[in-house]
Amino acid sequence: DKIPTWREENIKSDDKDEGKELTGGGGLNDKVSLYKGDITVLEVDAIVNAANSSLLGGGGVDGCIHKAAGSCLYDECHSLNGCETGKAKITCGYDLPARYVIHTVGPVARGHVGPTETNDLTSCYQNSLRLMKEHGLSTVAFPCISTGIYGFPNEPAAEIALNTVKNWIEENPDKITRVIFCVFLENDFAIYKKKMSVIFQDK
């Protein structure tokens, strides 16, 4: 029997269901999924936070994560001396179901996508995955880094997220067992769904 792929089955069925996870089937597809909803409810080894360079909290997904994790997260972040754009730092998850939070700082794009913005956003995904590897973690959920308050256009941001994760999994096949792309907006859901069916299609 044919293994279902992004294109053929999994995408169509759950279209608008908030909180539903769409998984691929077989090979690389098995390791990636698309989830629409709140990242703070996901029980994974690590959720990634789209933080700012102070690491002391803010709005958007950062605010949601700090609220759900509790004040101990703030205290640990306070001890980290901030984080540069494109870099990442790891903390405990505290009251979250996720064991760890990987805080990364996306580029402030304000609608502009040049080489610097592209490289910095790529580095966010790579450095987050590197921390996973260094800590022996195997399951992770990413939000759409930089596409909210920081204004990175959604389509190119999704392209960077998906291709960077794909390349990483191909180069580190044993380490990561599951990457969830956690989108919050209908627009991003549509963009990811479309791009995943191309980028992660079975060979």
**Please, what is the minimum distance in Å from the beta carbon of residue 94 to ligand AR6?**
16
- Point out which span in 5-13, 140-148, 161-169, 193-201 binds ligand AR6 (CB under 6 A): 140-148
Q: Does residue 157 belong to the site contacting ligand AR6 (CB under 6 A)? A: no
| Residue 189 interacts with ligand AR6 (CB under 6 A): yes or no | no
* Distance, CA of 11 to CA of 202 (rounded, Å): 14
What CA–CA distance (Å, rounded) separates 74 from 92?
11
Question: In this structure, which amino acid lies at residue 116?
Answer: T
Residue 91 sits in the site that holds ligand AR6 (CB under 6 A):
no
Length of the chain (residues): 203
96 lies in the site for ligand AR6, by CB under 6 A: no
User: What is the C-alpha separation between 61 and 53, in angstroms, rounded?
Assistant: 15
- Residues whose CB is less than 8 angstroms from the CB of residue 126 and which lie 6 or more positions away in sequence, other chains included: 164, 168
Contact between 188 and ligand AR6 per CB under 6 A = yes
Alpha-carbon gap, residue 73 to 65, rounded angstroms: 9
Q: Based on the shown chain and the rule CB under 6 A, indicate whether residue 128 belongs to the binding site for ligand AR6.
A: no
The contact pattern for ligand AR6, residues 29-48, with x = CB under 6 A and - = no contact, is: ---------xxx--------
Is residue 191 within the footprint of ligand AR6 (CB under 6 A)? no
Q: Least separation, in Å, of the C-beta of 23 and ligand AR6?
A: 18
Is 187 a residue that touches ligand AR6 (CB under 6 A)? no
By the rule CB under 6 A, 185 interacts with ligand AR6: yes
CB 116 → ligand AR6: shortest distance, Å?
A: 15
Binding residues for ligand AR6, rule: CB under 6 A, are 38-40, 50-52, 58-62, 64, 106, 143-150, 182, 184-185, 188
